Amino acid sequence: MSPLLTALVSVGVALLCVVVTMTVTALRARQLGVVAVVDVAWGLGFVLVAVSSTVVAYVAGSDSWRTLLLLALVAVWGGRLAWHVRSRALGEHQGAEDPRYAEMLGGSLPEVGMSEAVRRVFLVQGVAQWFVSLPVAVGAVLLVEPGWTWLVGVGVAVWAVGLYFEAVGDRQLAAYKAQPRESRPKVMDQGLWGWTRHPNYFGDACVWWGLWLAGGLASGWVAGLATVLCPVAMTLFLRNVTGAKLLERKMSQREGWDEYAARVPMFFPRPPRR
């Protein structure tokens, strides 16, 4: 197959993987009575796309080292994320819906019905997942543009920065929550949380900018321009849709939040200051 046809096949298979992932997740959500289970499918769905793109690449006769590299990067990120959110998504609240999704749905899953959940959550996240994954689906089956190997290294570096912010930020928040409520600070502002109010979401965005550099742009200008909106969409999604902005509506009610928000940026980090 020609490179263009192989890329189109990889993109099509990626779409099929996302449809299967979201369908299975919707069925599981109906069984559990909460849509927050989609958070687990978010990371795992990208891993499935990366695996399918790797299979397409090798069936098409490609043995590019970058194919396996992209698979490894997505698998590490997606596997860690799914493992981290599993308890919250699968029962930490004992059947109660995650407040973010309750606000998005306008109520609990039993109250609004499955069709509304599919329209507002599973369809939206499925489309977003497929679109954001395009740099991986395309990059896995194309060769690195001659002379542009350095972009793969830059992409891996950006990915590593993102994974650090996401993983360390999550661990620091977990340590904060483990402290007795009466003795811990009213607002978590230590470590990376003193650099940005959402280090995990910022890290997530960096991961996908890194994957775009290593997978999309390193494949050439055409592939880079065709997929540049993918990390842009991911960043907007994390900051303005189901990520930081939605969570802040709840967090802004906490004592001490206004002072914290005045000194720590919402998304893009800067050194702590008093």
152-175: per-residue pLDDT in tens?
A: 999 999 999 999 999 999 999 989
Statement to judge: residues 138 and 208 lie in one domain: no
- Answer for the pair 235, 206: CB distance below 8 angstroms, yes or no: no
- What does pTM read for this prediction? 0.91
- Do the domain assignments include residue 158? yes
Residue 132 contacts by C-beta under 8 Å, 6 or more apart in sequence? 46, 208, 230, 231, 233, 234, 237
Domain count, the chain: 2
Dihedral sign of CA atoms 115, 249, 21, 227 in order: positive
Statement to judge: residues 138 and 151 lie in one domain: no
- Can you tell me which residue has the tokens 């039993």? 110
207-266: per-residue pLDDT in tens?
A: 999 999 999 999 999 999 999 999 999 999 898 877 788 788 878 788 888 888 889 999
Statement to judge: residues 152 and 136 lie in one domain: no
Statement to judge: residues 30 and 58 lie in one domain: yes
- Do the domain assignments include residue 73? no
End position of a domain, from candidates 120, 143, 166: 143
Statement to judge: residues 205 and 260 lie in one domain: yes
CA distances from 250 to 154, 257, 262 (A): 36, 10, 17
Q: How far apart are CA 226 and CA 150, in angstroms?
A: 20
- Do the domain assignments include residue 69? no
Statement to judge: residues 136 and 176 lie in one domain: no
End position of a domain, from candidates 91, 112, 143: 143
- Do the domain assignments include residue 246? yes
End position of a domain, from candidates 143, 169, 188: 143
Give the domain extent around 274. Answer: 144-274
Statement to judge: residues 153 and 252 lie in one domain: yes
Statement to judge: residues 2 and 128 lie in one domain: yes
- Do the domain assignments include residue 74? no
91-129: per-residue pLDDT in tens?
A: 554 567 777 787 777 777 788 888 888 988 999 999 999
- Answer for the pair 167, 207: CB distance below 8 angstroms, yes or no: no
- Do the domain assignments include residue 201? yes
Nearest to 97 by CA among 23, 42, 32: 32
Statement to judge: residues 104 and 175 lie in one domain: no
- Do the domain assignments include residue 235? yes
180-202: per-residue pLDDT in tens?
A: 888 888 888 889 999 999 999 99
- Do the domain assignments include residue 199? yes
Statement to judge: residues 5 and 117 lie in one domain: yes
Statement to judge: residues 174 and 103 lie in one domain: no
Secondary structure class of 236 (helix, strand, coil): helix
Statement to judge: residues 149 and 111 lie in one domain: no
